Structure 1
Amino acid sequence: MKTTCAVLAVLATALAGPVRADDDCYVPMADWQPRGAVAKLAEDNNWTVRRIKIDDGCYEIRGQDADGRRIEVKINPQTLEIVEFELKRDDD
């Protein structure tokens, strides 16, 4: 019985797949920085903002970096820390 439980535990772990970092933000709206602070963050990083939206509870900036490459940046709405940064290719 102990062997069966151990085997099942190993299989369940293997089937669960690799553990990923969570890129969702769980911050009450009362604790959010204003949208203008996100725009200032983009300006400070020399990003051209096409759109600021909310995705998975985070702010998301879509735009271009200083070199003109398309970017998507997820930002924690309370701390304004970058949660995820994607550099988009032209074929994305």
Structure 2
Amino acid sequence: MPKGLTIITLVALLAAGAARAEDDCLVPMADWQPRAAVARLAETNGWTVARIKIDDGCYEIDGSDAEGRRIEVTVHPATLQVMEIEYEDGKRPQARDKEGQGNE
């Protein structure tokens, strides 16, 4: 493989890894809020919780919103900030940021 192509491939792989790392919540477990706090956050927002799990170091709430739509909510474990809400409208998931804007 030519040297230039090797460098381009390496740069592309590093950029892809950095972009993926932005989705992760890199917080020490000692700084995490308890699951009960995540459940209260869901209740405050009118969500029905089916499951609270950990994915990529973030809390993830699977459930439904007040209108009955299936949702998947990513929550920062230390601040409990809603990082992303994905709505499943029956056809395909639609990701929306915390302001409710689509990013399709």
TM class by smaller structure: 0.7 to 0.9
Gaps of 5+ in 1: 1-7
RMSD: 2.5
CA deviation map 1:47-92 (0-9, x unaligned): 0000000000000000000000000001000000011110112234
- The residue that corresponds to 1:73 in the other structure is 73
1:23 is displaced (CA, Å) by: 1.8
Q: Give the number of the structure whose alpha-carbon radius of gyration is greater.
A: 1
**Contact 1:23–1:84, Cα closer than 8 Å, also in 2:** no
Count of residues in correspondence between the two structures: 84
Give the partner amino acid of 1:24.
D
Q: What's the offset of the Cα at 1:20? A: 4.7
Moved segments of 4+, more than 3 Å: 15-21
Which of structures 1 and 2 has the larger relative contact order (alpha carbons within 8 angstroms, sep 6+)?
A: 1
TM-score using structure 2 length: 0.69
Residue matched to 1:31 = 31
SS in 1 for 2:78: coil
Percent of aligned positions that are identical: 59
